[in-house]
Amino acid sequence: MSAKEKVNDVVMNHNLVHIATVDDDGLPCVRGVDYAAEDGDGRLYFITLRDSRKVQQIRNNNNVAFVIDHDCPSGEELMQLVYIKGTGTATVIEDPQEMQKIFGMVITKFPFLKDLPGDPADFVGVRIDFGEVLLTDNTIQFGHTETVNY
């Protein structure tokens, strides 16, 4: 399996991504969000409140960093860990057709999110386009990392 295929495998088989944005003071802000993705497109999609800090930060500076991994409660699991971290650009989606697509993808993956409080108009979609992704594959060697560019 190629490094890009392994990145895709991580993306398609996890639910939570940690996204880092930058606030007005230049400080990093990290939060976890549930995401959906289309197989192999090097993008993530999530929904969030229109007036959230993350949306404001993305509008001010669309450069983001992200990590998709999971905890390892044993040494054996740690040696099997394959995870990604990277940089990219975020876009707040306002186009109704693209919003409908993002909401459909996210609600299909996480049906409970259809019951979020508030009006659907209170939410926006966000697309993360991958830039440089570092794939760490401990199954090859502990800390083995390859760079994948999108």
Using the predicted structure, report yes or no on whether residue 119 has a pLDDT greater than 90. Answer: no
Q: Which residues pair with 20 in a beta bridge?
A: 30, 65
Residues with Cβ < 8 Å from 132, sequence gap 6 or more?
86, 87, 147, 148, 149, 150
Query: How far is 61 from 57, CA to CA, in rounded Å?
Result: 6
User: What is the tens place of the pLDDT at every residue in 66-107?
Assistant: 999 999 999 999 999 999 999 999 999 988 899 999 999 999
Q: What is the mean pLDDT of the chain?
A: 94
Question: Domains in the chain, ordered, with CATH?
Answer: 3-149 (2.30.110.10)
User: What is the tens place of the pLDDT at every residue in 8-65?
Assistant: 999 999 999 999 999 999 999 999 999 999 988 899 999 999 999 999 999 999 999 9
Q: What is the pTM of this model?
A: 0.91
